[in-house]
Structure 1
């Protein structure tokens, strides 16, 4: 009658056949599951010898969707060159009889320097557009650990993302004797590790950035929600980085800056990276303007300096989360969660994750200057292959919107699971229809569903049944939840919490908005009452009793795969699929009461509810014009 993604999967696996092949298959399956649960016995990444096809396997493990692939190709695939401007045709005056005859140019040896490179030839020689990533290697690391990190950098370079590395050594105190020599030696170790993996590296021992705010920043009255870099750089300072990138080399920078007296001093690596994020983005914008002014310039050997990723590689891993008992956050919406993460940061984590908050602030600053589609990732040195998945999919290793029961039992969620950070959007909850910006919500729904809204009927229905609307940003996404009354005598306890619409603008699909919105929906409905629902989304912040969330979707809706993974169960009704998410607090309370007995296939309170839900939900009128 129903299927469940959390509690009921074991009943299917229990039905085994008497045939020998089936029995062997089941034993192999059981052995595999048993090995998965013995996570403590798994060898560390540092001790594993990578196979020859490790690069290809890392790409396959990323499991990119069609949208992920299109997004990657949009950033790294060949780009069509603008059509050259037509040159004015010069007048051809008659040639005087005394003028020397024109020599046929085809009979002369060509001047190779003057022959313009064919766009087809250039696209073959440079099949991908090279982009840059800012990488902080936060050591100290052993040679074997550096080898693992270098392997990840080389993999990224093969996919078109060239690293600009800034090294840091947490064990080397600032001002210590011989710190300059120690940092120089560290840069050489990183360079050697990269070259052993087949890459070219160029250590840069001079300072690239300058101490102090950039001239003109003090005169900017605007309020900022990020820390302004305490260092800056000018386009002329980036000559060493440009030279290395043109030569196909990975620049490795020391955490040095030049003060007002032209002295070079060691600074925090975060100051260097923040200054580079701003300076490289501004330099790339200037390069773009120059190329627009001269469309005939074919800069095939140039590289886009705009940082596309920020990668922080350390021993700590990601930012610890109170919702996961200290395991890392999976995805962070910096706009709405930055302050809350600071407020809920456990004091004991300041010993185990000493630089988590400073790296969080670094990501917030850098992402402000980077493109909206950019992301930052904080990753342990034990997870180099996860960098490939982040590049191709631009998503966290495990979706943050999956049910917590699945996340807690997922072997992928370890202390070394990366944390993905995005600039994100503010999340707010509207309780009345009067608070809704109707034109913007209408535009969002019609662009997302590609249908015309029946406005009068839709707004009238919201006036009668609206529970709340969760809005992401300036109506980049929205979840509309209504309260549907149950017929008398149905035995239902209260109205049905119905997800009427869940929509995200096409331009924001794939940038994390979907996950941010669903997590907020979880916190306001079926996740209420649990500590991991106390997120700052402008709503109840986890306080209250959880409610079952019900919604329907067309059977041919391509989004259903995403719904299957996040719902507690579903049932089909002709052309429709009815989904629901069980109130998690009620299930958790019942599991605690029964101890090891567990939950039954269908609980007493669940009997007959599908009939009530289907009777009510299937009668909800369509919101679209026919």
Structure 2
């Protein structure tokens, strides 16, 4: 039921099977044997061949049997568990861990006790007791768990880090070598969940308590480096159903009592999706001091997520979740998406029943976002490659660039042209001259196929919202290199072919649509104007058609239908 409630799309399902489905057997090269070895000896008969006992050690295992016995490819997740929890709360968390294991995600748990001050007598004994309590909770739910009571990380930066280039994330204050992970490897290979207290070896080989964030960050880096050192190579006899596992963490999960990171845009309700590359500093700067009491570890966990995801694969994500939402972990595993899309209109987000103080925050490494105001700032070859790969058509370059020179308002670029949104100014033409207020027209919205499903689409649309129909409101002040919330919002209009499979996504994010033959015209109303009009009317709200809405649809339709195609026939 938890999987069904996650409502995975076809793309989500394919992504899940790509990570956890059985690995195909690599093609074996045909062995070339000398002719005399391939031909039977003259004295050898068919009967003698039949009478020979089979060599059971060389019998290949049936793929059908193997796939039934071990149908999933196991992956690992790093989990930070911020205790203390009651027995009932631990039972709920353990149930979630067991479900994840059944789906192929085996957790490596690192515990932290927020109520146990550092340096007190008996703190190590208390941590070990808490570790055993969590092991018992997991085993009571049917899982196999192993306490790893010794230190698996070493205190201090990793040798050689002092010579490394300056990084834009916090380097872990601990490190680990592949040989230190032997107990974690052993537990995972045996199908057990390792449970690790926040201990480290200092330079005198003493075991000392450290911050759990340092242990988690050191493991994230160390497990990735250990996998790289292994080369993750399979020999020619690997049949795709081995008991081996992938040590590289696929997910980072932070389970606590406070939930996700509070959002300034939603009056303290959690952020839904965070672009760590672009938003970390701004979230820290806008963190309300009143939230420090209710969410004391939110910013430190935000920093932890950025550090870990910097080492983990680009497809990885982190989730900050309350112990009240264990089913959210299953939904995140299947879809790798937030509970509610952050690019939906704010009116829908504010009234959505799925949004509660315990809604998880999904964090992705993300991409930097910048706004370009002139064609001269655009890298034409990269934008051309992006558009052609995204739309799978050939760009008619000369007319396209000439049109942008005349009409470009701005272009929003994600990363190194992994995605882009191009907005132009369109005018009515009457008797050979332009007239009226310009129309903000979304000319192109494109994301590379390799970045579809990793959050780039939502990050790009949120930036587009902040520069157009969401401009002028406090929650549009994101650091995307544009106007940062200052100015007046405007209606945003665009068109899409009637048979475009993306239209479902547009329907959910637009204020309305109008069918125009082979096209569908979409638009988003300026949110500040809607809020102002609604405030003036008080309890009466908005009417069906406001004065400023009269005749605008025919005018928009007339303009956008005349916009030429950007593609070669």
User: What TM-score do you get using the length of structure 2 for normalisation?
Assistant: 0.95
TM-aligned CA deviation for residue 242 of structure 1 = 1.1
Paired position in structure 2 for 1:586? 529
Q: Does 1:59 align with 2:3?
A: yes
Q: Distance in 1 between matches of 2:66 and 2:337?
A: 32
| CA–CA separation in structure 2 for the residues paired with 1:491 and 1:410 | 42
Matched, 1:89 2:58: no
Tell me if structure 2 keeps the 8 A contact 1:85–1:296. no
Tell me which residue corresponds to 1:399.
341
Report if aligned partners of 1:492, 1:612 keep a CA contact under 8 Å in 2. no
Take 1:239 and 1:351, find their aligned partners in 2: how far apart are those partners?
39
Further displaced range: 108-117 or 266-275:
108-117
Partner of 1:519: 462
| CA contact 2:396–2:566 (8 Å) conserved in 1 | yes
SS in 2 for 1:621: coil
Conserved 8 A contact 2:98-2:141:
yes
Q: Aligned pair in 2 of structure 1 residues 515, 107: CA closer, same or farther (>3 Å)?
A: same
Shift of 1:412: 0.9
Cross-structure match for 2:158: 214
Structure 2 residue corresponding to 1:195, chosen from 117, 124, 139: 139
For 2:527 and 2:516, the matched residues in 1 are separated by: 25
Kindly indicate whether the alpha-carbon contact (under 8 Å) linking 1:330 and 1:419 is maintained by their aligned counterparts in 2.
yes
Task: Give TM-score, length-normalised by structure 1.
Answer: 0.87
Q: 1:91 to 1:174 in 2, by over 3 A?
A: farther
Structure 2 segments unaligned to the other structure (5+ residues): none
Q: Structure 1 170/446 Cα, relative in aligned 2: closer, same or farther at 3 Å? A: same
- Answer yes or no: is 1:227 the counterpart of 2:170: yes
In the TM superposition, what is the alpha-carbon distance from 1:230 to its structure 2 partner? 1.1
Alignment of 1:8-23 (within 5 A): none
Cα distance between partner residues in 2 of 1:426 and 1:203: 40
Which of 471, 477, 482 is residue 539 of structure 1 equivalent to? Answer: 482
Contact 1:210-1:232 at 8 Å conserved across structures = yes
Distance 2:163 2:150 in 1: 30
Distance 1:110 1:123 in 2: 24
Question: In structure 2, what is the Cα distance between the partners aligned to 1:102 and 1:190?
Answer: 62
What is the root-mean-square deviation of aligned Cα atoms in Å? 2.3
Q: Does 1:596 align with 2:524?
A: no
Deviations along 1:505-552, whole A, 9 cap, x unmatched? 000000000000000000000001000000000000010000000001
Q: Deviations over 1:75-102 (max 9, x none)?
A: 111111222344452685899x9x9999
Say whether 1:328 aligns with 2:276: no
CA spacing shift, 1:93–1:65, aligned 2, 3 Å: closer
Whether 2:449 is the aligned partner of 1:506: answer yes
Greater mean deviation of Cα atoms: 119-128 or 577-586:
119-128
Could you tell me which of 388, 392, 400 is aligned with 1:458? Answer: 400
- Written as runs of structure 1 = structure 2, the 5 A alignment for 1:51-450 is 57-89=1-33, 92=36, 107=51, 110=54, 112-220=56-164, 222-291=165-234, 294-297=235-238, 300-450=242-392
Q: Name the CA distance, whole Å, in 1 between partners of 2:114 and 2:71.
A: 39
Q: Is the 8 A contact 1:492 1:609 kept in 2?
A: no
**Structure 2 residue corresponding to 1:620, chosen from 545, 563, 567:** 563
Going from structure 1 to structure 2, the CA distance change for 1:113 and 1:502 (only over 3 Å counts) comes to same
Which range is displaced more, 281-290 or 62-71?
Answer: 281-290
SS at match of 2:80: strand
* Contact 1:134/1:164 (<8 A) preserved: yes
> Would you say the 8 A contact 1:132–1:308 is kept in 2?
yes
Kindly tell me the number of residue pairs found equivalent between the two proteins: 565
Quick one: distance in 1 between partners of 2:411 and 2:48?
A: 75
Q: 2:26, 2:238 within 8 Å by CA — same for their partners in 1? A: no
Q: What's the CA shift for 1:212?
A: 1.2
Query: CA offset at residue 621 of structure 1?
Result: 0.6
Partner of 1:33: none
- Aligned partners of 2:37, 2:5: CA distance in 1, in Å? 67
Report the secondary structure of 2:428's partner residue: coil
CA displacement, residues 14-46 of structure 1 (integer Å, 9 cap, x when unaligned): xxxxxxxxxxxxxxxxxxxxxxxxxxxxxxxxx
Quote the Cα distance in structure 1 between the aligned partners of 2:28 and 2:116.
54
CA distance in 1, matches of 2:129, 2:35: 65
Structure 1 residue 283 displacement after superposition: 1.3
